[in-house]
Structure 1
């Protein structure tokens, strides 16, 4: 029996819920068609709009905070891998090995502490803040349903009130043949029954209206107080959240800075002990500059053929048969002229060099430093002038010839010259010919040489095709 009663209650509740849904659906249709008025509350609607905006902002903040924590975790792992690499390459006999290992351990602990505090003071607070929104959102939706119930009960009661007036008119003036044919005593009973039935329906509608209104107003009052308070609380929450994040990050970087300084001191001590083995890192050229290292330099801006003269550099001697008769052979600055002039097909005297030989062999017997230069031949007033500037005090040692920049060139490395169109460069040989790359020359700007006379500070390499030979 109890089971039968339970099933009956459940069925009755389901039927009641279905009837409520049908009544609400009918009421919403009538309101949309304009056949029934809808209770409006503009102030509450504004509160709902603020609530939805606040929920959207909070959800985004929570998502971005989780992304931030994921990034912190990734940085922690990357830092840990880097420190593990340092520990592996740090050899046992190097000074500061124990200190480096301790710094690595403290670095790992610092990252873990930073991540955990972010979770405790920011993410969990964020989760608690957003945890109140689902319940309020559900209550707002329920308040909307109760408002529809209230409007439906109000409209039903109003329709009964209108019907009451019509019934009173019927009672005052019977219109049916049955009522006219009935005895007088029977007509009174019919009228009394009609009045009682009408009053019963009206009383029931009034009770339902009062009940629906009470439920709606209770929920409405609570939300009217709660929503504005929640909206105003967002300011303090955002301030506290971002203050916590900023403070934690500031402290983290302070502590990390101390660890980095300690590690730098340890490595500095290692560098002092093995200073002679310091590795120098050279900057790499950018993509828009002519690259060195067995690569041809980029063409000059205008692509002028005149800016790319073909020049043989220091280690390519002139062929033996190109010297002009009557030209003077290059001589060592410390020796008298031993070579006879080349004229009328006579051969040079003993001890003289052939035209194809480099000046390096001459410098071997000289008291001056050995200089490798290239010999250029040209007839001037019946004699051949040599292009070597070795031995001239106003030119750098090993001077070969002059070039003039035809285009601007921006240096991309510390060993390159910065050129402006019109700059004159004194070309000198490479100290190590194997370091010379194709399309590049070594030189010093004439203005720098005349001002400083310091070859080590002023010389540099530059792309040959940005210049044109002038001497």
Structure 2
């Protein structure tokens, strides 16, 4: 019997809850459709918004605090490993070994104490602070449900009040019909019964309205007091939390600084005892080049930056077709015939801007210092230099000192696409200010709009920066040869690129 009674109570409670959910759902639908008004409290809604904001901020602070504690723990482990390494390498016969071990122990204890105090004074306080939010959040949700119940009861009571006159009309009509069929005494009882039933429904609706209103107002009043108080308490909580963290961290670093100073004194003492074996640390060049603005990026394979080959032209390079026994002139004033294939006709030597030196035979007699009219090169004639040419000076000195005569002929060097000392007219097939060519050794992906996109094998014509102050170390300005040959538009095609991704070519 007890089991049947308990089952009946449970079933009745479930049915009541289901009925409440249906009534609330129906009331919300009517409110959304505008067929029923909704009770609103703007002040309470603002309190709810503040509550949600406070909960979000507190949850984030708790998460970040746990991350901070995890970092402290990780730093503790790293410091512990480092001290263990020092203890292992510190040999027993070295002075200060016991002091170093003691410092390592105190270091470990200091980290543990710092972590534990952070947990006690910050994390646990944070957990207590956030522990009050779930209960208030559930009460806010319950208050919302009771508000719907209150609105539903109010609307039901108002509908009965509005339908009072309609019910009286419905009651009067059947009584007039019964007057013809029912006895006189029966008509009065029937009318009284209908009126009593209508009044009973209205009274029940009124009681439900009063009950729902009372439950709602009790919860509403409590929350109206608690939510603003909770919102204002956040300031003091934040102040206490961060003051505790800052104070603990300050004391920790003070104590850690003392331990580090003691360890430094121990190591200084060790250095004095073994001063002759001190290892000096010297700065080494880094292979990792920083980003643009300081140095150019490193090539993908990590190879060192390609540097152009520098030739010191102290001696002339042997010509391709030269023979050891070639006849040399006896006097600087006489024309010199170069061996076949030594120099191209009408062009300077491969190493432009270098000196071409002709040595006379050892048996030749020095002649008078006369200005050379022409130098015959590979079947062509090159005009001689003026009175101050190095060739004349060398020849005069050779004649006066009775040494073998030396004929020195300078060829104009080509710089930036023009011939130095000439008319200065640039070559039409090269961009203005052309300096030299480079070839990309690695692919380079441009990271800015003013950079060139390079593929391995691309040839770039290097030109000077318009403003030399804008040039960064390790970067060059240029235009790809293919773009220049196709468009001939320097403004659209030029860009900067890392020098160490390229190699200079002839």
TM-score bracket, normalised by the shorter chain, equals 0.5 to 0.7
After the TM superposition, which of the residue ranges 3-12 and 278-287 deviates more from structure 2? 278-287
After the TM superposition, which of the residue ranges 111-120 and 274-283 deviates more from structure 2? 274-283
> 1:320-369: per-residue Cα shift (whole Å, max 9, x none)?
99999999999999999999999999999999999999999999999999
> 1:72-105: per-residue Cα shift (whole Å, max 9, x none)?
0000000000000000000011110000000000
Q: Structure 2 stretches of 5 or more lacking a match?
A: 335-370
Q: Give 1:312 deviation, angstroms.
A: 8.8
SS of structure 2 residue aligned to 1:469: strand
Distance 2:424 2:379 in 1: 28
Q: Give 1:166 deviation, angstroms.
A: 1.7
Distance 1:332 1:104 in 2: 87
Distance 1:93 1:430 in 2: 63
Distance 1:437 1:39, change over 3 A: closer
Contact 2:69–2:115 (8 Å) recurs in 1: yes
Contact 1:328–1:342 (8 Å) recurs in 2: no
Contact 1:333–1:391 (8 Å) recurs in 2: no
SS of structure 1 residue aligned to 2:496: strand
Contact 1:153–1:209 (8 Å) recurs in 2: yes
Contact 2:417–2:434 (8 Å) recurs in 1: no
Distance 1:434 1:325, change over 3 A: farther
Distance 1:458 1:265 in 2: 62
Contact 1:441–1:461 (8 Å) recurs in 2: yes
Contact 1:328–1:383 (8 Å) recurs in 2: no
Aligned pairs for 1:442-457 within 5 A: none
Distance 1:412 1:8, change over 3 A: closer
Distance 1:167 1:369, change over 3 A: farther
Q: Give 1:183 deviation, angstroms.
A: 2.7
Aligned residues: 470
Contact 1:388–1:400 (8 Å) recurs in 2: no
After the TM superposition, which of the residue ranges 79-88 and 400-409 deviates more from structure 2? 400-409
> 1:144-184: per-residue Cα shift (whole Å, max 9, x none)?
11011111111111111122222233445657634553332
Distance 1:107 1:324, change over 3 A: farther
Distance 1:284 1:116 in 2: 42
Q: Which residue of 1 aligns with 2:318?
A: 319
Distance 2:220 2:394 in 1: 105
> 1:295-325: per-residue Cα shift (whole Å, max 9, x none)?
9999x99999999897799999999999999
Distance 1:183 1:400, change over 3 A: closer
Q: Give 1:36 deviation, angstroms.
A: 0.8
SS of structure 2 residue aligned to 1:11: helix
Q: Structure 1 stretches of 5 or more lacking a match?
A: none
Contact 2:394–2:408 (8 Å) recurs in 1: yes
**2:258 aligned with 1:223:** no
Q: Which residue of 2 aligns with 1:433?
A: 468
Instruction: Report the TM-score, using the length of structure 2 for normalisation.
Output: 0.59
Q: Give 1:401 deviation, angstroms.
A: 26
Q: Give 1:397 deviation, angstroms.
A: 44
Contact 1:440–1:461 (8 Å) recurs in 2: yes
Instruction: Report the TM-score, using the length of structure 1 for normalisation.
Output: 0.63
After the TM superposition, which of the residue ranges 326-335 and 48-57 deviates more from structure 2? 326-335
